[in-house]
Each structure stands twice: as structure tokens, then as C-alpha cells.
């Protein structure tokens, strides 16, 4: 099946918006994706038909909302091929998911002098939480540097591993450079050395078929809003045996089995990690997003986005003074670039006036910018509802920017 992009665009009402009277060209998909009508409709359905707090009601609406939430968990379990639905924990997003694992992992496993290897390619959300827990436990975060192209090298990782290494944290896909990391091989190296591993899949699940059992990863996190779902909801996958060992992250309702002033016992998975009223409305709508992309097929999406990436890179390379930052062997549909003599903000602001939305700056990856000695980049990130015609508009827009500053 190939992608019928015109038909797909009909599913996303926001794509019809005009910005300053010009058709919207939305190339900020790595920051957040737009929502298909089915996701928007589902949110309306929850709030108009059965909004009710879940898990503890005896009445119809509470039961309905509970069933829909737990169905969503099952849908997400199948989507990433987790062994059990209770290995899917809902959090606010990838950021909260990483903080959850970092906190609980450190409480259980991290001692003074221990080491956590974190790649230099990480979003701040897969770096700062590890620095924070390392500081608390007097452990050390060790940098796994990337090469000039933006690739992580496995030989470099092997050199960093010591008997003190307790965990490796790495993304599946870099949000800034688009690098697709060889996570299967990285996980193998981790496990050969008895090291646990967390994969940040925030930029991967929307582009690449993820099978957590085939990968054999210990923890995998992602956010719904980057895969056409609502904001404020995301997933932490963890292997049952590993999650069972970890203490809870937050205390409150739902995460307990029994409470007295003398003793508290914790609930079983996944509820042990889901304190308080869960974001059930967004969870239910999130499942619609997963059903929607699954019906199109992640492999079809990947093939179409690869076409957009190749087309975009070829065109943009011909713009005078434009340099693509991040030329990894395998890339997702992200083009980060700078134009000689121009600040990324200026480029972004002029494109905005043409109705073209790109992201500018450090993309929450300051270590990457430091490594390249730049203040930021312009980033165009494509989704399967984007078109080559839109890339042509970006190309023409950039030519105009270059002309203006000449
Ligand atoms: N990890 C990566 C690679 C990201 O790109 C992002 C967001 O841009 C995050 C983590 C954090 O995701 P969220 O802000 O949805 O928690």
C-alpha cells in the first residue's frame, strides 16, 4: 500500500488552516504532531458521554471509562508488542516516564560511585533526570559522544563500560539530528555486560515499527502527542520483573493496596506507578491515534517519510550557504540546518510569515549544539501528511530568505 496523502490530509482538520492568509505548511512534527479527527472526536465522546473517574466506581459511566482506559492499555501493549498489558504504565509523557524510571531505578540500584552512560545525542529529558539522580546518589553520568555525522559508535560505548556501569540511557531516534540509533545492538551490548537499558522512543514510535520483545529492551518510553495523540499522556514500558523490583515513584490514591498509619502496602503493576486520578480521557483518545496509524501501517508511513526526507535533503542542499547538521547513516524524517551568516531564529521568523512552521534553536539538546559549536539550527521535521509540494514551498521560502539577507 502506498500513502494516499490527499486522503490522509482530509483526516487532519488543522491542515486546512490559513496562517497570515497563507496555507499552513506544518514542518514542526518532531515537537508535536497534529491530530486526526478520530482522536478529537474521541475526546469529545469521553467528555460528552461517559466522563467519570475510573477504577473505583460501581456505576455505568465509571465502568465504561475504566473499560475504555484498560482497552487503550491493551491496544498500546499490542502496538509495541509488550508481553503483558500491565507492563504498560501511563505517565504524562516521555519526560515523566524517564523521571519515573530514573527515580525508582536510582532508589533501588544506584550507589555511590556507580555509573550511568548517557549518549550525547539525548534530549534534555533523557539527560537531566539521570544527572539529578546521580547527584543525589553520588554516582556519575558518563557521556557517550557521537561522531561528526551524528552517529553513535558501538566501539566507543564498549570502551565506556566498567564494572560500575548500572544503566545505559539512549534515544531510538534523535530529535535534533534525526539519527536512528542501532538500539538492538546497543541493548545486546548492555545485556552482555549485565547492564539495564532505557530507550527513549519519543521520536521513534511514529516512524519505526517498535517491538519491545524483539528488541529485548528493559524500559522504553514515548509520548502520545508525537504520534498523533493528545498531549499530557505517554507510556513507560518496562519488563515485569524489573518493574516489580522498583519502588513507586509517587504516592497517593490508586497506587496502594492498603493504607494505615502503621503500614502501607503497594498495588500491583501497573497501578503501583500510577498514583492519583489518571489522565483517562487522553488515554482513551491516545488509543484512537494508535489505531489510526496502525491502519495506515508504520512501514508505509516510514517508506513515504523516507521519500520526503530524500527529496527535502536534495532540494535544500542546493540552497547557497545551507549546511545540513546531522548526516547519520540512518535518519528519520528530520532535516536540521543552518545558513551561513544567518541566525536560526531569523530564518524561522521569516518562514513563519510565509505560513511555514519550523522549529529553531537548540531543540532541548544543548550538548549537541555545544559539540558542533553552534547556537542552534532550523529544523524541518516531516510527517506522513506532508507533501513534496510543501517541501517546494520551504525551498522557495529559503531562497527568498537568502536573497533578503544577501
Ligand atoms: N525525548 C525526545 C527524543 C524528544 O524529542 C522529546 C520531546 O521533544 C522528549 C523526549 C520529551 O517528550 P515530552 O516533552 O513529550 O515529554
Please check whether residues 234 and 334 belong to one and the same domain. no
Joined grid coordinates for residue 108: 533501588
- Asked if residue 225 and residue 115 are part of one domain, the reply reads yes
Domain end residue (candidates: 294, 319, 338): 294
With pLDDT > 90 as the criterion, what percentage of the chain qualifies? 98
Question: Ligand 1: does its nearest atom lie under 6 Å from the Cβ of 122?
Answer: no
- Rounded distance between C-alpha atoms, residue 11 and residue 15, angstroms: 9
Residue range(s) defining the domain that contains residue 83: 40-294
Q: What is the percent of the chain with per-residue pLDDT over 70, rounded to a whole number?
A: 100
Residue 350 CA to ligand 1 centre (angstroms): 26
Averaged confidence pLDDT in the chain: 97
**Looking at the structure, do residues 345 and 254 belong to the same domain, yes or no?**
no
CA 238, chain centre distance (Å): 16
Of 30, 33, 226, 332, the residue with max ligand 1 atoms within 8 A of its CB, to mutate for a pocket test, comes to: 226
69 lines ligand 1 (CB under 6 A): no
- Assigned domain for 10 exists: yes
Q: Are 337 and 325 in contact (CB under 8 A)?
A: yes
364 is an active site residue? yes
97 alpha carbon to ligand 1 midpoint, in Å?
10
Is 35 inside a domain boundary? no
Cα–Cα distance measured from residue 73 to residue 193, given in angstroms and rounded to the nearest whole number:
32
Q: Judge contact between 273 and 248, C-beta under 8 A.
A: yes
* Averaged pLDDT, 206-235: 98
Given the residues 364, 369, 374, 399, the one annotated as active site: 364
206 Cβ closer than 6 Å to some ligand 1 atom: no
Length of the chain: 406
Place of cell 498495588: 267
Segment 155-183, tens digit of pLDDT? 999 999 999 999 999 999 999 999 999 99
DSSP, residue by residue, 242-285: HHHHSPPSS-SSSSEEEE-SS-EEEPPTTGGG--SS--HHHHHH
Write out pLDDT tens, residues 345-389.
Answer: 999 999 999 999 999 999 999 999 999 999 999 999 999 999 999
Q: Give the up-direction half-sphere exposure of residue 336: CA atoms within 13 A in the CB hemisphere.
A: 27
Which pLDDT tens digit goes with each residue over 55-112?
Answer: 988 999 999 999 999 999 999 999 999 999 999 999 999 999 999 999 999 999 999 9
Q: Tell me the CATH number at 266.
A: 3.40.640.10
Read off the pLDDT band of 1 (50, 70, 90): low
Confidence label for 406 from pLDDT (cuts 50, 70 and 90): confident
Please report the pLDDT score of residue 390 as a whole number.
Answer: 98
Residue bearing cell 544503566: 167
Whether 165 is in the pocket of ligand 1, judged by its Cβ within 6 Å, is no
In a domain, 142, yes or no: yes
Task: Please report which residue ranges of 355-387 form alpha helices under DSSP H.
Answer: 366-372
pLDDT at 9: 98
Whether 167 and 277 share a structural domain: yes
Residues 288 and 313 in one domain: no
302 and 288 both lie in a single domain: no
Number of H helices, E strands in the chain: 14, 17
In a domain, residue 270? The reply is yes
> Which of helix, strand or coil describes residue 406?
coil
Q: Are 216 and 206 in contact (CB under 8 A)?
A: no
Substitution candidate for ligand 1 out of 125, 150, 200 with most atoms within 8 A of CB: 125
Regarding whether 171 and 71 lie in a shared domain, the answer is yes
pLDDT for residue 2 = 81
Ligand 1: centre distance to CA 95 (Å)? 6
Residue 197 and residue 64 share a domain: yes
Cα(123) to centroid of ligand 1, in Å? 7
Query: From the CA of 125, how far away is ligand 1's center (Å)?
Result: 7
- Torsion sign over Cα 343, 345, 346, 350: positive
Q: Which of 393, 395, 255, 220 is nearest to 315 (CA)?
A: 395
In a domain, 276, yes or no: yes
Does residue 278 register a pLDDT over 80?
A: yes
267 and 327 both lie in a single domain = no
Ligand 1: which of 223, 230, 232, 282 to mutate, judged by most atoms within 8 Å of the beta carbon?
A: 223
> Ligand 1 mean position to 221 CA, how many Å?
10
pLDDT tens for 106-149 read: 999 999 999 999 999 999 999 999 999 999 999 999 999 999 99
pLDDT (mean) for 208-221: 98
Domain containing residue 312: CATH number: 3.90.1150.10
Quick check: CB of 387 below 6 Å from ligand 1? no
Report how many domains make up the chain: 2
Helix ranges restricted to H, 161-217: 183-192, 212-215
C-alpha cell at position 59? 456505576
217 closest CA partner among 234, 237, 231, 232: 237
Domain end residue (candidates: 294, 314, 334): 294
Query: For residue 210, is it within any domain?
Result: yes
Burial zone of 299 (CB within 10 Å; 0-12 exposed, 13-18 middle, 19+ buried): exposed
Q: Which residue has the cell 546531522?
A: 326
135 within domain boundaries: yes
Q: Is residue 60 part of a domain?
A: yes
- DSSP states along 314-336: HHHHTSTTEEEE---SSB-SEEE
Mark whether 190 and 305 lie in a shared domain.
Answer: no
Give the per-residue pLDDT at 57: 82
Regarding the beta carbon of 203 and ligand 1, being less than 6 Å apart is answered yes
Q: Are residues 247 and 192 in the same domain?
A: yes
Quote the pTM value: 0.98
> Which of these three, 266, 294, 322, is where a domain ends?
294
Q: Does the Cβ of 397 fall within 6 Å of ligand 1?
A: no
Residues 360, 375 within the same domain:
yes
Amino acid at each position: 500500500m502506498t500513502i494516499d496523502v490527499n486522503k490522509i490530509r482530509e483526516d487532519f482538520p488543522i491542515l486546512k488552516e490559513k496562517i497570515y492568509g497563507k496555507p499552513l505548511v506544518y514542518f514542526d512534527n518532531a515537537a508535536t504532531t497534529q491530530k486526526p479527527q478520530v482522536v478529537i472526536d474521541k475526546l469529545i465522546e469521553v467528555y460528552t458521554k461517559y466522563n467519570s473517574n475510573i477504577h473505583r466506581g460501581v456505576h455505568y459511566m465509571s465502568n465504561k471509562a475504566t473499560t475504555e482506559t484498560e482497552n487503550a492499555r491493551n491496544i498500546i501493549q499490542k502496538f509495541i508488542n509488550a508481553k503483558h498489558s500491565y507492563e504498560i504504565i501511563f505517565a504524562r509523557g516521555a519526560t515523566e516516564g524517564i523521571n519515573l524510571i530514573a527515580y525508582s531505578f536510582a532508589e533501588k540500584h544506584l550507589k555511590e560511585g556507580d555509573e550511568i552512560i548517557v549518549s550525547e545525542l539525548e534530549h534534555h529529558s533523557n539527560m537531566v533526570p539521570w544527572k539529578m539522580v546521580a547527584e543525589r546518589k553520588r554516582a556519575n553520568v558518563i557521556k557517550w559522544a557521537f561522531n561528526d555525522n551524528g552517529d553513535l559508535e558501538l566501539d566507543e560505548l564498549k570502551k565506556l563500560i566498567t564494572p560500575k556501569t548500572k544503566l545505559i540511557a539512549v534515544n531510538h531516534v534523535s530529535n535534533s539530528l534525526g539519527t536512528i540509533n542501532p538500539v538492538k545492538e546497543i541493548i545486546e551490548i548492555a545485556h552482555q555486560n549485565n547492564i539495564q537499558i532505557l530507550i527513549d522512543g519519543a521520536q521513534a514510535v511514529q516512524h519505526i515499527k517498535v517491538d519491545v520483545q524483539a528488541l529485548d529492551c528493559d524500559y522504553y518510553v514515548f509520548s502520545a502527542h508525537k504520534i498523533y495523540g493528545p498531549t499530557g499522556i505517554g507510556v513507560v514500558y518496562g519488563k515485569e520483573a524489573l518493574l516489580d523490583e522498583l519502588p513507586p515513584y509517587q504516592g497517593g490514591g490508586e497506587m496502594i493496596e492498603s493504607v494505615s498509619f502503621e503500614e502501607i502496602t503497594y498495588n500491583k503493576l501497573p497501578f503501583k506507578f500510577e498514583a492519583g486520578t489518571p489522565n483517562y480521557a487522553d488515554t482513551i483518545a491516545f488509543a484512537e491515534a494508535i489505531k489510526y496509524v496502525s491502519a495506515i501501517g508504520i512501514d508505509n508511513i516510514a517508506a513515504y517519510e523516507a521519500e520526503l526526507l530524500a527529496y527535502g535533503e536534495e532540494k535544500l542542499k542546493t540552497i547557497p550557504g545551507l549546511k545540513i547538521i546531522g548526516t547519520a547513516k540512518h535518519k528519520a524524517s528530520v532535516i536540521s540546518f543552518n545558513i551561513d551568516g544567518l541566525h536560526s531564529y531569523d530564518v524561522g521568523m521569516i518562514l513563519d510569515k510565509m505560513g511555514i512552521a519550523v522549529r529553531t534553536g537548540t531543540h532541548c539538546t544543548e550538548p549537541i549544539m555545544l559539540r558542533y559549536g553552534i547556537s542552534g539550527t532550523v529544523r524541518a521535521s516531516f510527517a506522513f501528511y506532508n507533501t513534496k509540494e510543501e517541501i517546494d514551498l520551504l525551498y522557495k521560502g529559503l531562497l527568498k530568505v537568502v536573497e533578503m539577507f544577501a
